[in-house]
Structure formats: C-alpha cells, structure tokens
Structure 1
C-alpha cells in the first residue's frame, strides 16, 4: 500500500494592472473571459453550481492543446472580495487520479507600487505515491496560472475602460 504525500509550493508574480481590475476580470469574471481570451486552450467554462461565490463549482474544458487532460472541475472554497483572496479545490479532472490524489490553491492579490499588483499563489497537493511533484511539474502548474493572468493583463491594458 502506497502512502499519500502532502506538499505545498508557492509562486509569486507581478501584474501591470491595478488590483481591482485584475480581481474583477481574472477572478470574478474568469468563467466568461477565459474562453474569449484563450480559445486555443480553454474551449468553454461551465457553471455547474453556485453564483460565483463560495461553493461555486465550475468546469473548465480544454482544447487538444492541453495534452495531459481535457477538463478540470473546481470548487470555490472561499472568496474574499475585500482582501482579494480566492481558495479553490480541484475536485475532478486535471491531474486528479493520474499524479495527484488532491490539490487546491489559494490566490492572493496585493496592491503593489505604481498601480501594479502582486499575485501570490500557494498550491497544496497530495500525491498518489510518496514522491513530491518535480520542479518541472510544479512549473507546469505555475505556467497555467501565468498564462491566464498574462492573457487577462494584456486584455485589460488593451482595453483601459474594461472592468474599471
């Protein structure tokens, strides 16, 4: 019998967009915005339960460009508009069952200098075996967060009135 292995890793980035606009577009309206901004990666996002707040369940369906899996179903565990924190758990799809037993993440946005936003992501995971994710595997997870954030950032810079 294999024992599960619990672990955490973090990633930090900086966006050139204000915290409020990034929160509104990238978090609160991600289900509408992501398929429009990344149609070659995310084909659709289905709202399965809830109204966008805590308890909401969403299904992100990916294109053939994502080789490892076709979809992710995540549940919003907490959504704190005042402090710009979202906590979500992947409940189905993604790396569940292939490499991971479970994984969740917390994203916190903080106001940076000169109108920028500091993004801090912490990923908690439990592997199916007793080995932690490699640096490469962690990098792939971080890259997916970065891809979405960069797409939102570019959209907001190109459309200064959007989500203002």
Structure 2
C-alpha cells in the first residue's frame, strides 16, 4: 500500500529565510526542541547537512512506538528549496514499512511570503497495512512547521523587517 499525506503552512517571511532552517541541520534543533520529552536526542552520525547526512533520533524511555531510528538526507536541492529525508534503519522500518520518506518544500508565494509544505510518502506491505497505517501522522511535522514559523516571525520582528 503506497500513500502520502501533506501539510502546508504559510509564513510571512521570504522563502530564503525559511530555507535557512529547512535546508540545513538547524531543522534538527527545532525538532529536538519541539519534542523534548519525546525525543531524547538528535545526533548527526555523518555529514554536514547535505545529501548523505545521517541523523539518529533517540526517543525517550517509555515513549510508545520506537526506541530510535536513523534517517538519511537523500535529496537537498538549494535551488528548488527541497529536502527529502528517508528512514534507513529502525523506527518505521521495524514495524513493517518498506519506505518512509519525508519531503520538505519551501515554496515562494510572494515578495515576503512562502509556504512550508511537508509531505510524508510511505509504502507498507499489503498484509500489514491495516495494522500499521495508523503510524502515518503528519501532525508532529505540522507542529515542527508551526514552530519554525514562530521562530522565523520572531527573528523577522527582532530584525525590524516589516
């Protein structure tokens, strides 16, 4: 069973500013902050934020679901402001997914506005689909986008940009 789910949020900052978070390792810090208490730590196993970078997410003891997972940056396109991250070990793969990929896109909307679009693409073995499809949840990534938005708006105000 192949599927996808998306979320979009508009942010009143130029696309290049939003990409400064999403196109770099800074996003890992936003994730760690957003889910303190759920995610114990986010470690860079290899890489500098470009294609091939591997992160390990370790979840807090007692968190339902997974203990950890590793994800790899499979695409980072600075021109298109597009990043794809794929789970390569643990987590979703341990419960029956054959593919779990997250795509982040920063879409320029106007002179001072952009859209943060987050898409989860997944593939589940047909016989396990009903049991594990509930693991697909865009809400945590929507929360990350909202936190990134708040951070960007706060920085914009601090700089005095209007």
**Normalised-by-shorter TM-score class:** 0.7 to 0.9
Counterparts of 2:113 and 2:61, CA distance in 1: 34
- Identify, as 1 or 2, the structure richer in helix: 2
Secondary structure at the aligned position of 2:65 is classed as coil
Structure 1 residues 42 and 27: alpha-carbon distance in aligned structure 2, compared to 1, 3 A threshold: farther
Q: Which runs of 5+ in 2 are unaligned?
A: none
Structure 1 residues 64 and 157: alpha-carbon distance in aligned structure 2, compared to 1, 3 A threshold: farther
Counterparts of 2:111 and 2:70, CA distance in 1: 36
1:72-83 superposed matches below 5 A: 72-83=69-80
- CA-to-aligned-CA distance 1:4-43 (integer Å, 9 cap, x gap): x3x1313131232422222212341122343244423333
Please name the residue that 1:41 is paired with. Answer: 38
Please name the residue that 1:92 is paired with. Answer: 89
Please name the residue that 1:59 is paired with. Answer: 56
Secondary structure at the aligned position of 1:97 is classed as helix
- Normalising by structure 2, we get a TM-score of 0.79
Please name the residue that 1:158 is paired with. Answer: 154
1:6-155 superposed matches below 5 A: 7-18=2-13, 19-28=15-24, 29-64=26-61, 66-113=63-110, 115-130=112-127, 131=129, 134=133, 136-138=134-136, 140=137, 142-155=138-151
Counterparts of 2:121 and 2:41, CA distance in 1: 26
- CA-to-aligned-CA distance 1:60-111 (integer Å, 9 cap, x gap): 2233574211322100111011110011210122221213122113222101
RMSD: 2.6
Number of aligned residue pairs: give it: 155
Runs (4+) off by over 4 Å:
none
Q: Which runs of 5+ in 1 are unaligned?
A: none
